[in-house]
Structure 1
């Protein structure tokens, strides 16, 4: 989400939550600085409706109240938007601390550290009992953060991608479903619009900027197994088969170790 929009939504949420009576659109427009820049009433109404829908999608309960003169007011009652107290036992808190350590060298390090500080401030029992464990999932690829945001917000993206056997990258238009790290590399699974099918992309082969291109058009599957797809494309999921080969005597020892049978052919050759 762009910083300007995030700030506008935050200000709107604060206005709706810090009032004891319904607030009209006219009052909200006068109170929130970002709305001052919108000169057209029609443009403001569209922006306000989008912002209100975005807040509701994020989980804020907004009540719409009709006044005596037929005008509408809005408010977010505190009793309907209060989260329950967080109750974690020491083992659960330690598991969260271990998860936060994963991102210490990635772009989510600040968010992970901030989450633990908020838990401590809320009085959650926290003791770092995982000092012997130092998990690391690096995310050095420039495309990681943009794809993570697009995956969470369900936005299609466009980027240039170079396949393993290609000389130059090609443009791809993808609806990103899931990101997963496997064997030290990040992969993206999603719906390739141009090919009309599921595709998996290795982030290190994405070049240039990742650009947002609208909302999803295809339903996201309930289960997305990125590793299984990558392994299948790498040939690791191939069905086992038996082959018959000939090797010179006293050579090819790794192959001989896997042979089912070994039969001498002549003085120079064996058949495996």
Structure 2
């Protein structure tokens, strides 16, 4: 007896589109169609999100997906793939068009950031579930080590909820939520859904891999999306956890102060005599704030509260053992 597919075709298609977006963002150069197919994956059946093994069928599916991204206003650009004997055309999404600006890091700093990010974000994740690659070039012609995060099963439902303006229901932090999802965003190795939380009557951001159980969807057109909700939404996950809010002070070295203001979405509350900037940050997720601090490597220091500082120091000491 034939197996019965438990996933709708549109869910599989939407998951493939999300994989495609992630693959196109995660590259410093143009990727050929073959490289993109390899990153997105091969479809192993009706329930499997990927491209057909047949080359011609895979190309047709890819070009349909590219048309969908164009219709959605996602800025895919094309250009020559480097290092090819014959001119080969490729594709990518520039990070500056679809995400937060890059930090200007040296090779050793980039490698350190990769190690820290892997430790913070990928604990317990199986490589077989991989979607996103966190990488870059370290040295001439050498690919950096890659770390991976999974595709969460809720992504396809949330993508459908955003595009069709359906109210999404799910459990988060042990509580039932009903949100009007405005957009999905990928930032610092995680997917987030941003929208109006009817349960709190306020804007909220939720990390998708922390959603508990299944996502339920309301009817199409269940809410009106605000005009200013379209496009990239800078994610600040340390603000959107379920912990009791804590006001933290973060000191950032002068050379990273401008980047810090962008990343935090605010101006410093004080400037010190050496040019260091002090930011006051509302923290509702200690893990996310710790990850934020690690982005600045040795250029940032938690000033207060002392218990938050001590917790991060203890975590780093444990990591170094």
TM-score of the aligned structures, taking structure 1 as reference length: 0.41
The structure whose RCO (Cα within 8 Å, separation 6+) is larger is 2
TM-score of the aligned structures, taking structure 2 as reference length: 0.36
| Larger CA Rg, structure 1 vs 2 | 1
